[in-house]
Amino acid sequence: MLRRLLDLWIARYAKPSQDALHAVAHLKPVTVVTGASRGIGLALARRFAEAGQDVVLVARNSGPLEEAAAQIARDFPVKAFACPLDVTQADAPHKLDEHLAARGLYLDVLINNAGVGLAGPFETHGEGEVMHLLDLNVVALTRLMHHALPGMLARARGGILNVASLGGLAPGPNQAAYYASKAYVVSLSEAVGYETAGTGVRLSVLAPGPVDTSFHAAMGAEHSFYRQLIFPLSPEATARAAYRGYVLGCRLIVPGLMNTFLAVALRLLPHTLLNPLIGWLLWPRAERSWDETRDNKD
């Protein structure tokens, strides 16, 4: 009953196109999750599957992806498909459409989770590293969102959940490009969410703090102070909060009480105070010092 009332409110100005509805009448709606072979992406795919939604898992490596999809299909009474795809390719949205159509599906909910991080001073990163981060965290997310949204609006249903970070609410010295990319995701999601309010399309952005995955180690930040000082949530707890916030139609979703407090602080404190504090928290200690990164670059 509550979900029905929420759906009515979210679609209060909706004007679905009969042509758009007819175009997908023979297809089944599906939730597409990028970066879904592990971590938050896999937890989100499992949570949406638990809610009864068929899911398509997208990532580059087919092996882990096939295993994850098979496990979801065993655990929940839904269909789960693997779609090996590099979302940074310009034709990724069209390849995704072809993959879905071949299986009698259409994109109903898009979860943009694929992303990468970089730790250390900005100037120590190679140009290729920074461009890859922007291609994945910003360009690919924007391209998929821009491709999927018109159809959702025409059908007056569906939604987009973009995965950002608590770091998207402030500058991040020693993770500058990563924080900036997530600030873009937060800003884009909140703005487009306002533009599409009442159309029947949910548009939310997830801004988690540290999550207990391999992401921090992969970006070279596992020994930074924030990893010791901020208690990480599990991917499953993060996914539960994300799903709850998405269903409720929340524009910005911050999982966890402590992270909610931190989000308020990041919004209110001046950057003259935040920059040195965050820079200290994010400094990649131990195995990667500033001098070492300079030497590696040279």
Give the relative orientation of helices 235-248 and 2-10 as an angle to the nearest 10 degrees.
60
Place of tokens 């175009």: 23
Q: What is the DSSP string of 13-78?
A: T----HHHHHHTTTSEEEEEEES-SSHHHHHHHHHHHHTT--EEEEES-HHHHHHHHHHHHHHSSS
Which of 255, 258, 259 is CA-nearest to residue 241?
Answer: 255
Amino acid at 215: F
Beta-strand pair 252-253/28-34: unpaired
179 tagged catalytic: no
Instruction: From the candidates 13, 106, 178, 243, give the one annotated as an active-site residue.
Output: 178
- The 8-class DSSP code of residue 168 comes to G
91: left (phi over 0), alpha (psi -120 to 50) or beta: alpha
Which residues are the active-site residues? 178
